[in-house]
Amino acid sequence: MPYRICVLIPAYNASKTIRDVVAGALKHLPKVIVADDGSTDNTAAAASEAGAEVIVMERNKGKGSALKALFKKALDDGYDAVISMDADGQHDPEEIPLFLQANSKYPDAVIVGSRMHEKKMIPRARYNSMQIARYYISFAANQFLEDTQCGFRLYPLTLIKKIRLMTERYATETELLIKAGDSGAEVRFVNIRTIYSGNGSHFRPIADISHITAYIIAYLHIKWFIEGVTSNNPKTYSSQCSIRDTLCTTFIFQTLSVATALPATIFFLIEYVFLSRLITGNFASVRKLGKSFATITVATHMLPVVLLIAIAENLLHKSGIQLNLLDKFIERFYPEF
Ligand SMILES: Nc1nc2c(ncn2[C@@H]2O[C@H](COP(=O)(O)OP(=O)(O)O)[C@@H](O)[C@H]2O)c(=O)[nH]1
Ligand SMILES: [Mg+2]
């Protein structure tokens, strides 16, 4: 059987752009499936006219739900891998071959588009939050991840089958990277163009960032709790443990995790330093990455400071004073590794 790959596009009110995205993708792969997620414009008709198969979802449920429906469809249709793309023109279909080439070299890896090499093209606040997010998501995924927020990706479906997705909206793509990495998969990157097309965004900065942040912290608390008391155990995710999956998305657990994030890192630091005498190789993922818990603890305690600097810079900016402390601060405490 030949290796089959299709393109998946979650779409919501994207009638202006979906036609070109579908037509562009069909130049490189024979099958494009679009999930029209309760759009109120003619996204579904435009996608279908351009040659895509369209799954129509009655009510808008967000990108995560659409992705889950698309994965299910691709699995049912017997594909081996899928390429996900945004519907709004931010991903250039001409770059699909980059993913195909990477996939032929690394068939078991998730391949993610990275825009981080084009810092100047990304709005500053977005870039800064992406740097902080990737610092923590990298720890959760057991490897440094260049760009954690790009939706242009290739996923082998054998891997998707092993992951239970629990989150909604934009958090699902973060959950995918974390669970793929923490179950032992490799995540590789290909540089893609950064396109901010001015087609608007459905991303709600406060609600969606809070949602993603709460998930990451809840996940890391459970991961570090397990790793703190186990020896040489860096890969902690398995879909067989459904209780853990449920806990990570439970509102009370997420709230408690966020509220205790600062003292919890100190607790983990103590475990990292002292418990390691009894349990050799505890916090295996952190050690494997060549990091110490001391740096994570400092970084986490700097988060309220980052927030204060961001607020101060904003206020000063409004009074005409341009200050640029934040970028250096973030590079110092949330570096690449
Ligand atoms: N199916 C579905 N897709 C969505 C929804 N919101 C966003 N998307 C998809 O996710 C992509 C990125 O969303 P967008 O709002 O542009 O976020 P941004 O590019 O990160 O600012 C869009 O191009 C759509 O493909 C939604 O509610 N439902
Ligand atoms: Mg967009």
> What does the pLDDT read at residue 66?
98
Q: pTM for the whole thing?
A: 0.96
Q: Rounded to an integer, what distance in angstroms lies between the CA atom of residue 110 and that of residue 157? A: 10
Nearest CA owner, ligand 1 atom 21 = 201
Confidence of residue 124 (pLDDT cuts 50, 70, 90): confident
Nearest CA owner, ligand 1 atom 7 = 63
Q: What is the DSSP letter of 277?
A: G
Closest ligand to Cα 88? 1
Q: Which residues does 77 contact at the CB level (< 8 Å), separation at least 6?
A: 6
Q: Are 142 and 235 in contact (CB under 8 A)?
A: yes
Q: Name the strand (E) or helix (H) holding 93.
A: none
> What does the pLDDT read at residue 258?
96
Nearest CA owner, ligand 1 atom 20 = 203
Closest atom of ligand 1 relative to the 149 alpha carbon: 20
**Cα 281 to Cα 30, 255, 273, 288, 298, distances in angstroms:** 48, 30, 11, 9, 22
For residue 173 and ligand 1, the question of a CB distance below 6 A is answered with no
- What average pLDDT does the segment 70-99 reach? 97
User: What is the CB neighbour count within 10 angstroms for residue 76?
Assistant: 8
* Residues 61-75: tens digit of each pLDDT: 999 999 999 999 999
Rg, Å, the chain Cα set: 20
Query: HSE (CB half, 13 Å, CA atoms) of 82?
Result: 28
* Residues 317-331: tens digit of each pLDDT: 888 888 888 999 999
- What average pLDDT does the segment 149-167 reach? 97
88 CA from centroid of ligand 2 (Å): 6
Q: Which of 86, 90, 194 most suits a substitution to test ligand 1, by most atoms within 8 Å of the C-beta?
A: 86
Which fold, 5-204? Spore Coat Polysaccharide Biosynthesis Protein SpsA; Chain A (3.90.550)
- What average pLDDT does the segment 213-228 reach? 97
> What does the pLDDT read at residue 23?
98
* Residues 187-213: tens digit of each pLDDT: 999 999 998 777 788 888 889 999 999
Mean pLDDT of the chain: 95
Q: Rounded to an integer, what distance in angstroms lies between the CA atom of residue 239 and that of residue 222? A: 14
Q: Rounded to an integer, what distance in angstroms lies between the CA atom of residue 181 and that of residue 223? A: 12
Closest ligand to Cα 85? 1
39 CA from centroid of ligand 1 (Å): 12
Nearest CA owner, ligand 1 atom 18 = 201
Q: Which residue has the tokens 């900016």?
A: 317
* Residues 2-40: tens digit of each pLDDT: 899 999 999 999 999 999 999 999 999 999 999 999 999
Phi, psi of 71, rounded to the nearest 5 degrees: -60, -45
Range(s) for CATH 3.90.550.10 in the chain? 5-204
Q: Rounded to an integer, what distance in angstroms lies between the CA atom of residue 114 and that of residue 215? A: 22
For residue 86 and ligand 1, the question of a CB distance below 6 A is answered with yes
- What average pLDDT does the segment 172-201 reach? 93
